[in-house]
Structure 1
Amino acid sequence: MDEQPADSPDGGPADTLVRVLIVDDHPLFREGLRAALETDRGVRVVAEAQTAGAVPDAVADHRPDVVIMDLNLPDASGLDATRRLAAQSPHSPVLMLTMADDDGSLLAALQAGARGYLVKGAGREEVLHAVRTVAAGGAVFGSDVAARITTLLAGSRLHDAGQLFPSLTARECEVLDLVARGLDNRRIARELVVAEKTVRNHVTHIFEKLNVASRAEAVARARDMGLGDS
């Protein structure tokens, strides 16, 4: 790919070329997003990735100014990839662009280190503004989620798992809290006075609803929400 500075809209060289990495497992979405971003001559998509596992190499190879990250990826959560980037590659901040608009996902993204959060369906200008803002070191959130951030960060709902994980039943929230405390299924069964098989079923349902693939990932999500405290 040609990496020479792009022209600005007025025909002169762009003052600052914003280099973008798109991380999403849907090819048609990536194609549409690339086309929308590159209508601005000051923005260039330098790479794409389909999985969380491909992100570190893509960042190392292309050194993007912004990583646009989906929350749900086939091999791991975008939250895990965001957390690693925030720790290892702070020069490549993450703008989360996802279908998830629930409070739990929003707060988890913030705590993982995302510098922006938009819901898919945001307009081209809103996405471009977010990309420029994050690349410049700022933080930006969609108009539909910004009003909820103060309440979430104030902590008044941090431990209300029913609101942070609205897809989970009350019992599943209870099980998730115990999982986050490090209890195995046998100990959880004793704690709740239920059969171990019942706990296994709850854990399976939790994995499906939170779109996680492992117990460790479920624990990370729960602890991001403040669950699992002794």
Structure 2
Amino acid sequence: MKIVIADDHAVVRSGFMHILNFQKDMEVVATAADGLEAYDVVAKHQPDILLMDLSMPPGESGLIATGKIKENFPETKIVILTMYDDEEYLHHVMKNGASGYVLKNAPDEELLHAIRTVYQGGQYIQQSMANSFVTRLDNREQDGETDPYKILSKREIEILPLVAKGYGNKEIAEMLYVSVKTVEAHKAKLMEKLQLKSRPELVEYALRKKFLTF
């Protein structure tokens, strides 16, 4: 199986590449340092599996890239490989199209098992998180909790953390290759949808929903 590794740390990419290339049924065909590069690499190599880190500052995060890649390259199965033992992250990426979720401190055997399970068409959630994930889904349905991934557009989800980090409209426009007016319109719409009235409220919301990592 052809595999791409996306992680912002070169030493991590190198380490996992060594582990995977040692397997007779696996080959790492390329690596990427952020979500944008991961998208381009997947487009070029059409891998069977993408190992995706979640937090890759300052580039595009794995949270955003997962949805984009899954939408445009549905045949590539995505396994999230992260340090975050967090149900919020797990919930979002699995809803966005990821097929697996493994912590970076997991044994090599578990990672290899996750990759093979996903490659064969299954889903894999690290056992230590599986039960809490199911419980959280049940609680969400019962409590009717507002999920930003249900009410915000993809562009609004891209803009939200940038606004929260303090970037101006012009800076965001340049980063996303859109006009300033487009940024202003999306920002106003997301504030309306989330019923927020100020940037401090947006920052608090972004932190609570795990859109910001420092």
Shared fold (TM-score, shorter chain, > 0.5): yes
Structure-1 separation of matches of 2:143 and 2:47 = 35
Task: Note if contact 1:152-1:158 (Cα within 8 Å) is conserved in structure 2.
Answer: no
Matched residue type, 2:134: T
Counting only pairs closer than 5 Å after superposition, residues 150-229 of structure 1 correspond to structure 2 as 150-154=134-138, 155-156=141-142, 159=145, 182-183=190-191, 188-189=196-197, 199-207=198-206, 210-212=210-212
Give identity over the alignment, percent. Answer: 32
SS in 2 for 1:147: helix
Q: Which residue of 2 aligns with 1:11?
A: none
Q: How far has the Cα of 1:129 moved from its partner?
A: 0.7
Matched residue type, 1:183: M
Moved more, 149-158 or 60-69: 149-158
Task: Note if contact 1:83-1:113 (Cα within 8 Å) is conserved in structure 2.
Answer: yes
Residue of 103, 123, 146 corresponding to 2:107: 123
Task: Note if contact 2:34-2:61 (Cα within 8 Å) is conserved in structure 1.
Answer: no
SS in 1 for 2:101: strand
Deviation digits for residues 44-65 of structure 1, max 9, x if unmatched? 1110000111122211221111
Structure-2 separation of matches of 1:188 and 1:85 = 30
SS in 2 for 1:67: strand
Task: Note if contact 2:54-2:80 (Cα within 8 Å) is conserved in structure 1.
Answer: yes
| Bigger fraction of residues in helix | 2
Q: Which residue of 1 aligns with 2:152?
A: none
Greater Rg by CA: 1
Structure 1 residues not aligned, in runs of 5+? 1-17, 162-175, 190-198, 214-230
Q: How many residues align?
A: 169
Task: Note if contact 1:97-1:118 (Cα within 8 Å) is conserved in structure 2.
Answer: yes
Residue of 116, 119, 122 corresponding to 1:138: 122
Deviation digits for residues 115-153 of structure 1, max 9, x if unmatched? 000111011110011111111111111111111232223
Normalising by structure 2, we get a TM-score of 0.70
Residue of 71, 82, 92 corresponding to 2:76: 92
Structure 2 residues not aligned, in runs of 5+? 148-163, 165-186
Q: Which residue of 1 aligns with 2:151?
A: none
Counting only pairs closer than 5 Å after superposition, residues 35-114 of structure 1 correspond to structure 2 as 35-74=18-57, 75-114=59-98
Q: How far has the Cα of 1:113 moved from its partner?
A: 0.7
Task: Note if contact 1:77-1:212 (Cα within 8 Å) is conserved in structure 2.
Answer: no
Structure-1 separation of matches of 2:134 and 2:143 = 11
User: Is 1:147 aligned to 2:147, yes or no?
Assistant: no
Matched residue type, 2:45: H
After TM superposition, the runs of 4+ consecutive aligned structure 1 residues lying more than 4 A away are 205-209
Structure-1 separation of matches of 2:125 and 2:37 = 26
Change (3 A) 1:148 1:23: same
